[in-house]
Amino acid sequence: MKKIYLITMWSGGNPAKKWKSEVKPKPLAQGTGVSFVSVGTKLPVSVIGSISVEEFESGKEELEMLLATALTDNRPTPPQTKSDNSEPLF
């Protein structure tokens, strides 16, 4: 899994523009923004203003789904006991 950074520029409390970066954005010298390389264009971008940076792990959902499938396939079935008032669901 690799880390993906989502950089969002905000305007009036709403997201105005979003970018993805594989490298952690670096703060600008003025302290009012960040610089990074965009995944989509492979070009360097500098954003100044109201921004947020979020960190995600790419591929995490796929791994969790594979793990859940593997666990359910290999799960032992509980012993079935039949009583007068119950019926097994599985």
- Average pLDDT per run of 10 along the chain, which is 90 residues long? 88 92 93 93 94 83 67 58 55
Check residue 79 and give its pLDDT: 58
How many Cα atoms are found within 13 Å in the side-chain-facing hemisphere of 66?
5
Q: Spell out the domain ranges in the chain.
A: 2-61
pLDDT, residue 74, reads 57
Considering the entire predicted model, what is its pTM? 0.63
Q: Where are the beta strands (DSSP E) in the chain?
A: 2-11, 14-21, 26-27, 33-37, 44-48, 51-58
pLDDT recorded at residue 29: 92
Q: Report the DSSP beta bridge partners of residue 2.
A: 58
pLDDT of residue 62: 63
Fill in the amino acid letter for 13.
Answer: G
pLDDT score of 77? 56
